[in-house]
Chain A
Amino acid sequence: MIRAVLLFLLLALPAQAVEPDEMLADPVLEARADALDDELRCVQCRSEAIGSSNADWARDARLMVRELIAGGATDAEVLDFFVERYGEVVLMRPRAEGANLVLWLAAPAMLLLAGAISITYLRRRSVAAPDDGLTTEEQARLDELLGR
């Protein structure tokens, strides 16, 4: 049982990524392929991109990315190719459409909400603050310093 777990871990072990024999000769195309390697998830592994996994599936996927790019596909077309075959689970960056909008908009929405709440709070604190009055502790400290 534990052996099976270890073997599974082994499959998912992030190790070497791109092998020398996979790389494209053209550095511009290889750079594009390299960037795409980080956007695609290895479906055989746990949570790794094909660019950082040494599983067989990841290797095949990297070779496929390079084949498509060498054949003149745009980055979007490469991603579409994979999504068509394996579903959205291969994308490391979920598309900002449909329900995923919730994921992408969660942060801005939360920030707005927090901003609104804190502005109300700050207003309330501020209205109560006279411009030149001292707080009780400050008054006490001042008295102490002045020896009163």
Chain B
Amino acid sequence: MVTNATGCRLHGCATWARSGLAGALARITLRLMIVELGHFALVLAFVVAIVQMTVPMIGAARGWRGWMAVAEPAATAQLLLLAFSFSALTYAFVTSDFSLRLVTLNSHTDKPMLYKVTGVWGNHEGSMLLWCLILALFGALGAWFGGALPERLRARVLAVQASVGVAFLAFLIFTSNPFLRLEVPPFNGQDLNPLLQDPGLAFHPPFLYIGYVGLSMAFSFAVAALIEGRVDAAWGRWVRPWTLLAWVNLTIGIALGSWWAYYELGWGGFWFWDPVENASFMPWLFATALLHSAIVVEKREALKAWTILLAILAFGFSLLGAFIVRSGVLTSVHAFANDPERGVYLLAITGVFMGGALVLFALRSGAMESTGVFRPVSREGALVANNILLAVSCFVVFVGTMWPLIAEMLWGQRLSVGPPFFNAAFTPFFLVIGAILPLGAILPWKRARLARSMSPLWGALVLAIAVGGLAYALTSGRSALAPFGIALGAWVVFGAATELWTRAGRGKIGSKLRRLGNLPRADWGKAVAHGGLGITFIGIAALTAWTVEDIRVAQEGESFDVAGYEVTLVDVQRVQGPNYVSTMAEITLDRDGAEVARLFPEKRVYPVAGMPTTEAAIDNGVFRDLYVVIGDPQENGGWAVRTFIKPYANWIWAGCIIMALGGVLSLSDRRVRVAGSARKPKAPGVPAE
């Protein structure tokens, strides 16, 4: 097997010289075989998925156990086949097999190994194969860990999951086959888009896809429940871990994308309300709503129909996102495959699954009898408010994203809907969510008295206002926005801490701490996730209001002052990278005579792709980022230099990661409970959630 990069660089020629003709021929044959077997496995997975979609469904309808039992081995087989197929494609990328069209278009022998591997999903076809692989992975996980599920429900869930797989595998094989060959392989490839040759973006798609595709499990559970015509507390308990898993990955994926935009695009923005960003944000909003409403189903047997609807919509918006990104109907800086034919197919997939599920919902949701009763002021009521705010805010994003398309189709008016609209129309919802979150999270189930529930929170509120006041005082009252946002974020963080503290009960500090440690992981997860949201609020408010920006022409050796930092452009040099040429500047930032940071911003040109990129240099700090960018040479021999002081920038992504960590904590608790069947957990002295 050709494993070393030099061996494949000259299409096996080096290997020939080393080990003789016969050995080399054997290697080349093997190389051909692996890729062809990968192609074959893909088609076979499609056939297996068709079986998994039909046989267990019929078995469940007729009560034939043997037929239902087909689902589990089929799900495993589908996963294995797709895993092999994906490995074969990865092998082709790693060995730079330019007889594959996809490898030629997206790879190059000089590309670092990491990006040879990530190049597999840095394009439409490969990313679609990854999408199908993850679909099959979730199906197989459902088969392996779904032991506690009733037989019939499990068969139906797996069949619905397979039907999604069939649709996407057909799409992959018939419109976007990654295994197509070139008749005459070129000597080298055309390289991956340089913007994608970056660690942040390399791992952004897999997380995002696990998120998008993970929501298919919630969808499958919803459709299976509609077919069964029954939703109970157990259903809520089963669907939640899957949603949580998808949500955690979606959160990380979106954060990675936003972080990448911050350091790669060269001016430090973190969110652009671009259609493709919105396409990932809408499923996140619905998944968040679903996580919360599923709790009500599980604990209180209410909001059943609504939760089912959310599960359908959350996955529906994942599909819509795939359509937006891959069809090119909404122009975007991100879109990487603009093909009307693919667009039509994806729209058809979205239409069939959403249409079918919603019709089923209309027919069956009447049967979802909710038994739980509660007063408007209660935990249930607060979760209803949470759901309304999340769903309507998602609706705002949806209307804003689609409006240019609607206006052009219906009355031929060309329009743009950009960040100013979204900032104005979307932000208020999250301000309200932040304001009510700490109180809502602490309200007891069924019925609550506001004054009594609020009493432990007064301290957090006073502290938060004090933090906001401090922020206002420190910045000599430039803008009320940041102090307000920071106070809100602090309120959410302190509120989460207070909730944990109260939950630990009364008594001495020592015993309280012990009980705090013994609280269920789900309680910790909830507080941690909410705290993360507060931290993100603080980061966004501070970054938006307090960024200092300086743009100027500087000569080499020149110093200038930016917000108390002495910035010096030391020199500018040309540097040769592995597959690019770089113009690299050396910039020092001093404060009070002492050097704080020495940074090397670059402007790179990737000759093969014929494309420049800006590599900002950032000195990361807890309270501020120093962010410098080198621009073009000027006529007078100077260089355009941009210096940004970005306060609390990292809090935005740190908050997201903490949110995701909260999800993981909660998940680690749920898993135990799912595995430990439906018996009541041995409750500690303090009520959980």
Q: A residues engaging B (CB < 8 A)?
A: 2-3, 5-7, 9-10, 12-21, 23, 38-39, 41, 45-49, 52, 87-94, 99-100, 103-104, 106-107, 110-111, 114-115, 118-119, 121-123, 125-126, 128-131, 135, 141
CB-contact partner of A52 in B267, B331, B403, B612, under 8 A: B267
User: Are A89 and B414 within 8 A (Cβ)?
Assistant: yes
- Within 8 Å CB of A45, what residues of B? 333
- Known A104-B425, A122-B384; judge A49-B375 contact (CB<8 A): no
Say yes or no: B333 contacts A14, CB within 8 Å: yes
Knowing that A87-B414, A121-B384, A129-B446 touch, tell me 20 more A-B residue pairs with CB under 8 angstroms: A2-B105, A20-B552, A20-B553, A47-B275, A48-B333, A52-B267, A89-B415, A92-B420, A103-B399, A103-B400, A107-B396, A107-B425, A114-B388, A125-B370, A125-B372, A128-B373, A129-B373, A129-B447, A131-B447, A135-B446
Does B501 reach chain A (CB closer than 8 Å)? no
Decide: B266 and A46 in contact? CB cutoff 8 A: no
The answer on a CB contact under 8 Å between B553 and A122 is no
Please give, as numbers and ranges, the residues of chain B lying within 8 Å of A135 by CB-CB distance. 372-373, 446
- The answer to whether A103 and B417 touch across the interface, beta carbons within 8 angstroms, is yes
Q: How far is the CA of A115 from the CA of B429 in the complex (A)?
A: 14
B332 adjacent to A46 (CB under 8 Å): yes
Cα distance, A10 to B613, chains bound together (Å) = 9
| In the assembled complex, B229 has its CB within 8 A of some CB on chain A | no
Query: Which residues of A lie under 8 Å from residue B411 when comparing CB positions?
Result: 99
Identify which of B190, B267, B374, B447 contacts A2 (C-beta below 8 A): B190
Q: Is the CB of A6 within 8 A of B384?
A: no
Q: Are B375 and A126 in contact (CB under 8 A)?
A: yes
B416/A41 in contact, CB under 8 A? yes
Of A46, A99, A104, which one neighbours B413 at CB under 8 angstroms?
A99
A92, B416: Cβ atoms closer than 8 Å: yes
Of residues 474 to 497 in B, which have CB atoms within 8 Å of A's CB atoms?
none
Size of the chain B interface, CB-CB below 8 angstroms: 66
User: Given A21, A94, A129, which contacts B416 in the complex, CB threshold below 8 Å?
Assistant: A94
Tell whether, in the assembled complex, residue B374 and residue A129 are in contact, meaning their CB atoms are under 8 Å apart.
Answer: yes
Q: Tell me if B611 and A15 are in contact (CB < 8 A).
A: no
CB–CB B333/A9 < 8 A: yes
| B388 closest partner in A (C-beta) | A114
Among A6, A46, A106, A118, point to the contact of B609 (Cβ < 8 A). Answer: A6
Contacts of B32 in A (CB 8 A): none
B244 at the interface (CB under 8 A from A): no
CB < 8 Å neighbour of B395 from A13, A48, A107, A126: A107
Please list the 10 inter-chain residue pairs (A to B) with the smallest Cβ-Cβ separation, ordered nearest first: A92-B418, A129-B373, A93-B420, A89-B414, A46-B331, A122-B376, A128-B373, A107-B396, A106-B399, A41-B416
Closest to A7 in B: B610
When C-beta atoms are compared, the residue in chain B nearest to A53 turns out to be B333
Q: Are B631 and A47 in contact (CB under 8 A)?
A: no
Complex interface: chain B residues within 8 A of A99 (CB): 407, 411, 413
Which one of A23, A131, A135 has the greatest number of beta carbons of chain B within 10 Å? A135
Closest to A118 in B: B384
Cβ–Cβ contact B392 & A110, under 8 A: yes
Quick one: which of A45, A94, A114, A118 has the most chain B CB within 10 A? A94
A38 vs B393: C-alpha distance when bound (angstroms): 23
Whether A16 contacts B395 in the complex (CB less than 8 A), given A104-B425, A129-B375, comes out as no
**Quick check: A14 and B267 within 8 Å, CB to CB?**
yes
25 example contacts (A-B, Cβ-Cβ < 8 A) are as follows A6-B610, A10-B611, A14-B272, A18-B551, A38-B418, A46-B332, A47-B333, A47-B416, A48-B333, A89-B414, A94-B403, A99-B407, A99-B413, A106-B395, A106-B399, A107-B392, A107-B425, A110-B392, A110-B396, A119-B376, A125-B372, A128-B373, A129-B373, A129-B375, A135-B446
Given the complex of chains A and B, what is the CA–CA distance between A131 and B415 in angstroms? 54
- Nearest chain-B residue to A2 (Cβ)? B105
In the complex, chain B residues whose CB is within 8 Å of the CB of A115: 388
**Which listed residue (A3, A15, A111) contacts B614, Cβ 8 A?**
A15
Determine the chain B residues whose CB is within 8 A of the CB of A106 once the complex forms.
395-396, 399
A21 to B370, CA, bound (A): 66
- The CA of A41 and the CA of B404, in the complex, are separated in Å by 13
**Closest A residue to B553 using CB positions:** A20
B590 interface residue per 8 A CB criterion: no
Closest beta carbon of chain B to A27's beta carbon, Å: 11
Considering the complex, which residues of chain B in the window 602-626 have a beta carbon less than 8 Å from any beta carbon of chain A? 609-612, 614
Residues of A contacting B: mostly: helix
Contact B373 A46 (CB under 8 A): no
Smallest CB-CB separation from A136: which chain B residue? B371
* Beta-carbon contact of B373 and A16 below 8 Å: no
Whether A47 contacts B267 by the Cβ 8 Å rule is no
Q: Identify which of residues 361-381 in chain B touch chain A, using a CB-to-CB cut-off of 8 Å.
A: 370, 372-376, 380-381
Q: What residues on A are CB-neighbors of B391 within 8 Å?
A: 114
- Contact, CB under 8 Å: A21 / B553: yes
Which residues of A have CB within 8 Å of B634? 20-21
Contacting pair A12 B551 (CB below 8 A)? no
User: Which residues in window 393-446 of B have CB below 8 A to A?
Assistant: 393, 395-396, 399-400, 403, 407, 411, 413-421, 424-425, 446
CB-based contact A126/B374 at 8 Å: yes
Bound-complex Cα distance A90 to B414 (A): 9
A-side contacts of B419, CB under 8 Å = 38, 49, 92
In the complex, the answer to whether B266 meets A15 with C-beta atoms within 8 Å is yes
Known: A125-B374, A126-B374. A39 touches B392 (CB 8 A): no
Q: Mark B264-298, 1 if CB is under 8 A from A, else 0.
A: 01110100101100000000000000000000000
What are the residues of chain B within 8 A of A93 when measuring CB–CB? 417-418, 420-421, 424
Q: Report the bound CA distance from A103 to B422 in whole Å.
A: 11
Which B residues are CB-close (under 8 A) to A111?
388, 392
Within 8 A of A (CB), among B628-684: 629, 631-632, 634, 640, 642, 680
Residues of B315-337 at the interface with A, using a CB-CB cut-off of 8 Å, are 331-333, 335
Does B302 sit within 8 A of A, measured CB to CB?
yes
Which of B272, B373, B384 has the most chain A CB atoms inside 10 A of its CB?
B373
CB neighbours of B384 from chain A (8 A): 118, 121-122
Cβ of B54 under 8 Å from chain A: no
Closest Cβ of chain A: how far from B610's Cβ, in Å?
7
- A123→B611 CA distance, assembly (Å): 61
Determine whether the beta carbon of A6 is less than 8 Å from that of B417: no
Query: In the complex the two chains form, what is the Cα distance from A94 to B399 in whole Å?
Result: 13
Nearest B residue to A88, CB-CB = B415
Q: CB distance B266 to A19 under 8 Å?
A: no
Smallest beta-carbon distance B657→chain A, Å: 25
Q: Is the CB of A14 within 8 A of B374?
A: no
Please tell me if the beta carbons of A125 and B332 are within 8 angstroms of each other in the complex. Answer: no
- Cα separation A46 to B265 with both chains bound (whole Å): 15
CB pair B332 A47 closer than 8 Å: yes
Residues of chain A contacted by B385 (CB below 8 angstroms): 118
| B415 cross-chain contacts in A, Cβ below 8 A | 88-89, 91, 94, 100
List B contacts of A126 (CB < 8 A): 373-376
Known A20-B552, A47-B333, A129-B447; judge A41-B374 contact (CB<8 A): no
Q: What is the distance, in angstroms, from B302's C-beta to the closest C-beta of chain A? A: 7
